[in-house]
Amino acid sequence: MADPEPELLHLGLEALHVALGGKMVPFAGYLMPVQYPDGVLKEHLHTRAAAGLFDVSHMGQVILRPKAGMAALKLAFEALMPVDVLGLAEGRQRYGLLTNDQGGILDDLMFTNRGEHLYVVVNAACKAADIAHMTAMMPGVSVEPVADRALLALQGPGAEAALEAVLPGVAAMRFMDHRVIGDIWVSRSGYTGEDGFEISVPEVQAEGFARKLLAQPGVAPIGLGARDSLRLEAGLCLYGHDIDTTTSPVEANLTWALQKARRAGGAREGGFPGAARILRELAQGPERLRVGLCPEGRAPMREGVDLFARDGTPVGRVSSGGFGPSVNAPIAMGYVARSHATLGTELMGEVRGKRLPVTVCELPFHPTSYQR
């Protein structure tokens, strides 16, 4: 007999999603709203034009507390990633990558210096493994999962005005700033390419807070479907699809996240899992690279589509793909041999037995609008 499917977890805001007409589907072990009555296309375009409210409470929220001072905590966490943790100022957030001994990516995450501890947000499907990994690798650190808070993302050009009306003072925040306002934690960040905020709220207050935001002009609930198309247009990786334990940060074109201090010649060169491979690829280049892909015509090239050079040589595979509502065209990302990763390179993608033209193109597909 097959093993029974694990029981789905439920969001604290599930009743609100259902009341708003959300279509609930399984995702990363949770029952999540994939869309609302307006549908994915309209939700996507609404976020780009006004403001979208996303429930991302399935993500893992974790507090890292030092047992022997913040400097020791920062160094311990930095030893797990090719990222500068020691140099992160209080009240600031940074993108990070947990790596394994082979230089692959265990997870991508956001971490914040909160003065006396670090606040970390990890991917839903990876959170149990991440917490176990951090606990095992940092014996001098208290790794504390946060189980009593919801996490909301308010994204789009109208996000600032809407949140300022509910939480005065947030308009002064810059991209990647973090503030604690009473018992609400706010970061000016998100995963849509738009300006916006991620807001951690005590679960008992979450529905009331969400309703206050939805009552603001231009704010609408947005589901997983539009969240995926928005992040794809922004050229952002989805863990388990565009990055995983076999892909290195260099292959994934995430070298912007590897600060100078951790690179060859830097103040704290190496010393992280997979450093030999990652530093070698930084110096010599990887064998393959994540690139943007623009298919010709209107047919999307989705994850798993094999890519070929014009002479028929296999050169890679699509990792994410679909239709980009803001650019009104099919878009994709994938990994191709470095010899075929130059902008403008013409390739072929095999869709239902037919090889169709696709061109290596610049990322992101849609301009970002972060509040610098």
Contact 289, 335 (CB under 8 A): yes
Single-letter residue type at 276: A
Q: What is the mean pLDDT of residues 267-292?
A: 98
Contact 242, 252 (CB under 8 A): yes
- The pLDDT-based confidence of 372 (bands split at 50, 70, 90) is confident
Exposure string over 270-293, b if 16+ CB within 10 A, otherwise e: eebbbbebbbebbeeebebbbbbb
Helix (H, G, I), strand (E, B), or coil: what is residue 144? strand
State the pTM of this model. Answer: 0.96
CA dihedral 119→121→125→127, nearest 10 degrees, is -10
> In this structure, what are the phi and psi dihedrals at residue 162, rounded to the nearest 5 degrees?
-65, -45
Q: Is the pLDDT of residue 162 over 60?
A: yes
- The pLDDT-based confidence of 371 (bands split at 50, 70, 90) is confident
Query: Over the chain, what is the mean pLDDT?
Result: 97
346: which residues sit within 8 A by CB, 6+ positions away?
310, 357, 358, 359
Kindly state the helix (H) or strand (E) to which residue 118 belongs, with its residue range: strand 118-122
Q: What is the mean pLDDT of residues 197-202?
A: 98
Q: Is the pLDDT of residue 2 over 90?
A: no
What's the DSSP call for residue 260? G
Structural domains in the chain, sorted by start: 9-57+148-233 (3.30.1360.120), 287-372 (2.40.30.110)
Q: Residue 37: what pLDDT?
A: 98
Strand partners, 181: 184
